[in-house]
Structure 1
Amino acid sequence: MKFAYEDLSEDQFEKLIVLLCQRLLGMSVKGFAKGPDGGRDAKFVGTAELHPSKAAPWIGTVVVQAKHTNGYNRHFGESDFFSPKSQDTVIGKEIPRIAKLHNGKQLDHYMLFANRRLAGNADQNITQHISKECNLPEGSIYLCGLEQLELYMKQFPDVPSLAGLDPVDSPLIVSPDELAIVVEAIASHDTDLSSVLDMPPSERTSYEEKNALNNMTPEYSIALRKRYLKDTAQIRGFLAAPENLEILKSYEATAEEFQMKIISKRKDFQNFDVVMEYLLDLLFQRDPILRQKQHKRLTRAVLFYMYWNCDIGEVVDA
């Protein structure tokens, strides 16, 4: 079974890795609480049970780190994760911490798990870089990406269950795929959004009532209406055109997914302003089409249209 690791929270992913390391290293693997952990998510002291092998196990202090991303199809070799010329990366920020622990004799071996794809050249380059910068033997460094993580989940099928990988406990995570189709299609349409008259779609619940029901602040609702109301007629007309039936289906699939996820996680957010901005941040992070400069405003406009058109958020019961 494949798991959507990108849909987990950081805490869930870290718990999964700690439980996995208890199988690979030993039951005394200890996870750490949130806070200034000095570069450690978990630690093991002793002789490893299975890693790297039963015949030649690691001996000493093993420091484990789990690096989670909500992004799709991310890689170890991406510039935000590793660049030998920059310290402003995930690996670059960890190098001083690893070196400090090693120099203080608090680290003999280092393991890093990430829900990213790990190519052979990236494995070699990152391992060599950590080894050089931290004066740590390459044989004492282990990187684990998605491919190997999937193999471990098959080898230790009880680990996901013990980690409580239950969708009920997952964060508010939505897929950007269908929305990207809608945004890209509207963006390529000939009509200029800015030229459309201010003609809103038919409302099932008035904007004011909807804002009160969803606890959207007046300041945020006014700003949304001022910036994106003029776009709603264009979006509605585009989706209603017979030749755009497939785009309409993508829009409806997106709105349905967003609404059900919002309902299930609404209690986690103080007001609907935060829900909207959280979704936008997530969408821009997860999809390269939506985060393009020319598509960001349109993405916001489509999300506003969903809210204005009562496709997401609470409404007055009929």
Structure 2
Amino acid sequence: MKQITIKDVAKKLKCSVSTVSRAFNDKYDIRTETRELILKTATEMGYRPNPIARKLIQQRSFNIGVVVPEFINSFFPEVIIGAQEVLHEQGYQVLIMQSNESSELELKNVQTLLNNMVDGILISLSSETDNMDFYLNAIKEKMPMVFFNRVVEGLPASKVLFDDYKWAFFATEHLIMQGYKDIVHLIGSKDLTLTKNRTKGFEDAHRKHKLSPGKSEVAGFSMNSGECFIEKRIEENSLPQAILASSDPCAIGVMKILKANGFNVPNDIAVMGFSESKLAEHVAPPLSSVEQPTYDMGRTAALLLLEQIKNKGLFVPQSIVLNGRLNIRESSMKL
């Protein structure tokens, strides 16, 4: 079967090849009715655009890279779903990579995407990442990049953030209102902006209620990190009254070890998660958690990136902060 070309469409309509090309590429200098007729005729003739030629003409790969720290929990897949919906609507393919919480692998992932000439990158940093030189250079070279969820202060790039200060404050205040005074805040990484904002919210909630600020301790975001933290505290016989965890997996790890050692949640120690994973309602006891708008985060980040690509690097970095919700369940309620 003969492959229908742009010349065949032009011949059928008795117009120039350049006119058909402008219609396919949605140029401004072609009448709407002419464009619609050309597209309708091309479809009827069975014309299929050559994707490689399209990329060469428009000097785009129509690929977007996404780099996330992990896929184990539902948070990042949900963000990706929101981003993909926006990007696919605009004709982009999404190349997804994960750093496994390794700064070294993260940089390799980004370099691979750059080598494959992606048009832009959406990225959430690993818990190890602290050197921003690589990203500063990429931004200076006008590589469109949007950072989401896990970011570092000082980067001249667009960011999509969660209001970590506000919701860490509310989560801490909930624990204080339940009567808990000795509260430990587990953090994932001391260098991330979200950690600094959550810590400030944690401390300000204590100040509001005229309590000495509890401790913030580096643990990590994983279930294993929660297990390791609480095992050490049990060995030291230094359990707090309550824990505000860095993530739901971390909180669930804490509860798992407490249960294995005969402790009751929340009677012996209360636990609050962060991120509202799908497991939160299904563990025993059900886990209180701060819900983050993962789907909206992905959509917002993708829209910011498309705007940056459209403006070819000429843009003013934006920081968009999203709101959340506190879901109170049995794990943090004093019985």
TM normalised by structure 1 equals 0.23
Higher helix share: 1
Which has more radius of gyration? 2
Higher strand share: 2
TM normalised by structure 2 equals 0.22
